């Protein structure tokens, strides 16, 4: 039985291998991606937001996307499916801090019921390695090295950082960890440019399809750099509200666009389960 119902599907791309039948049934349709531009990987992003556009309650222990979605199973299934499709997943350091130390950015970690389906799709249809690479971006290098993402030999992690961050990470023992690679890039005022990160991922690590899992600060930079091709956005039927005292981020933070220069998106598909909507947009 399907986990979601497809209301609109304008996906006209038929170049990539299709989903195996059981995944197609659960997703109520197929999933194809466009090809990567020559100069960088294809970048798809995945977020869940409340009806009023909040992506984190910013409450200790409840700052993650699962609180926004109420651990909605279809949202988790789609997130797992996108992870299974990607060569690498990129996140900012604050998004790492918002989840438990056992969290891994692998398909079955978010939706265990489809573990075998994701694995079959990944290995036998897409011919990708067992797990996507996790890419963590940090200028400061202040990461908690006891986290599972740095201690699980089968799950490779790349840290992209500055020269100052490299020193901090080396002092914390990160350079000694077998499943962790650290790459140092130039930064302006502590910001490494998305195009430099994408160049590194494409040329040194062979990434052709990158899943951007936030947070809003890192995502805003990629949007501003015109380095987002698609957005998968789950709309959770909740309103979080905001106040001057309690900061609650929207989908994008730290970047603003002029009214006549906003990034525009074309609707590719709409899926629904109960009160939830699962939207897929393509950058115009």
Ligand X SMILES: NC(=O)c1ccc[n+]([C@@H]2O[C@H](COP(=O)([O-])OP(=O)(O)OC[C@H]3O[C@@H](n4cnc5c(N)ncnc54)[C@H](OP(=O)(O)O)[C@@H]3O)[C@@H](O)[C@H]2O)c1
Q: Which of 44, 192, 198, 201 touches ligand X (CB under 6 A)?
A: 192
Q: Using the rule CB under 6 A, is 214 a contact of ligand X?
A: yes
Selected binder of ligand X within 26, 31, 45, 98 (CB under 6 A) = 98
Q: Should residue 236 be labelled a site residue for ligand X when binding is judged by CB under 6 A?
A: no
State which of positions 1-30 bind ligand X (CB under 6 A).
none
Interatomic CA distance for residues 261 and 112, integer angstroms: 41
The CA-CA-CA angle for residues 149, 85, 135, to 5°, reads: 30
Query: What gap in Å lies between CA 280 and CA 107, rounded to an integer?
Result: 19
Our finding on whether 135 is near ligand X (CB under 6 A) is: no
Q: What is the DSSP secondary structure assignment for residue 17, as one 8-state letter?
A: P
Beta strands in the chain (DSSP E): 5-9, 42-50, 88-92, 133-137, 157-161, 180-184, 209-212, 230-236, 265-273, 276-283
Q: Report the SS3 class of residue 188.
A: strand
Count interface residues toward ligand X (CB under 6 A): 32
Q: Is 249 in the site for ligand X (CB under 6 A)?
A: yes
Q: Which of 221, 227, 232, 248 binds ligand X (CB under 6 A)?
A: 221
Residue placing its CB nearer to ligand X in the complex, 221 or 282:
221
Kindly state the smallest distance separating residue 14's Cβ from ligand X, in Å.
Answer: 29
Kindly state the smallest distance separating residue 240's Cβ from ligand X, in Å.
10
Answer yes or no: are the C-beta atoms of 87 and 132 closer than 8 Å: yes
> Considering beta carbons, is residue 76 or 209 the nearer one to ligand X?
76
* Residue 222 binding ligand X, by CB under 6 A: no
Q: Please check whether residue 108 is in contact with residue 84, taking contact to mean a CB–CB distance below 8 angstroms.
A: no
- Give yes or no for residue 56 binding ligand X (CB under 6 A): yes
Q: Residues 217, 69, 270, 241: what is their CA dihedral angle, to the nearest 10 degrees?
A: -70
Encoding tokens for residue 33? 């991606």
Phi, psi of 182 (to 5 degrees): -120, 130
The residue (of 156 and 194) whose beta carbon lies closer to ligand X is 194
Residue 228 sits in the site that holds ligand X (CB under 6 A): no
Q: Judged by CB, which is closer to ligand X: 56, or 282? A: 56
Does position 202 interact with ligand X (CB under 6 A)? The reply is: no
Q: Nearest-CA neighbor of 235 among 48, 80, 74?
A: 48
If the CB atoms of residues 16 and 196 are measured against ligand X, the closer one turns out to be 196
Assigned token pair, 214: 């936030």
Residue 215, interface with ligand X (CB under 6 A)? yes
Q: Which stretch binds ligand X (CB under 6 A): 15-23, 133-141, 169-177, 269-277?
A: 133-141
Closest by CA to 182, choosing from 159, 163, 205, is 159
Residues in the chain: 284
Residue 43 makes contact with ligand X by CB under 6 A? no
183, 158 in Cβ contact below 8 A? yes
CB of 20 vs ligand X, minimal distance in Å: 26
Which of 48, 89, 106, 227 touches ligand X (CB under 6 A)?
48
Which residues contribute to the site for ligand X (CB under 6 A)? 47-48, 55-56, 58, 63-65, 68, 91-95, 98, 137-140, 142, 187, 191-192, 213-218, 221, 249, 253
């Amino acid at each position: 039985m399907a986990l979601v119902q497809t209301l609109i599907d304008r996906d006209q791309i038929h170049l990539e291998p299709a989903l195996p039948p059981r995944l197609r049934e659960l997703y109520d349709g197929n999933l194809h991606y466009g090809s990567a531009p020559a100069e960088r990987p294809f970048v798809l992003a995945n977020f869940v937001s409340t009806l009023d556009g909040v992506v984190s309650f910013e409450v200790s222990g409840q700052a993650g996307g699962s609180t926004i979605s109420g651990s909605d199973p279809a949202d988790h299934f789609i997130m797992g499916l996108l992870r299974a499709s990607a060569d690498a997943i990129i996140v900012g350091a604050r998004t790492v801090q918002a989840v438990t130390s056992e969290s891994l950015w692998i398909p079955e970690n978010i939706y265990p019921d489809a573990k075998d389906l994701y694995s079959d799709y990944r290995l036998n249809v897409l011919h990708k390695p067992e797990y996507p690479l996790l890419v963590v971006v940090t200028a400061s290098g202040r990461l908690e090295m006891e986290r599972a993402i740095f201690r699980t030999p089968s799950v490779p992690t790349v840290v992209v950082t500055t020269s100052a961050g490299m020193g901090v990470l080396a002092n914390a023992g990160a350079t000694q960890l077998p499943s962790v690679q650290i790459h140092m890039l130039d930064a302006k005022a502590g910001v490494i440019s998305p195009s430099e990160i994408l160049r590194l991922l494409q040329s040194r690590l062979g990434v052709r399809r990158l899943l951007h899992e936030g947070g809003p600060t890192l995502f805003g930079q990629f949007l501003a750099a015109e380095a987002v091709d698609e957005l998968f956005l789950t709309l959770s039927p909740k309103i979080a509200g905001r106040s001057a005292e309690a900061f609650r981020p929207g989908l994008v933070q730290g970047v603003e666009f002029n009214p006549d220069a906003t990034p525009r998106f074309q609707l590719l598909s709409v899926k629904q389960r109960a009160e939830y909507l699962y939207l897929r947009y393509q950058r115009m």
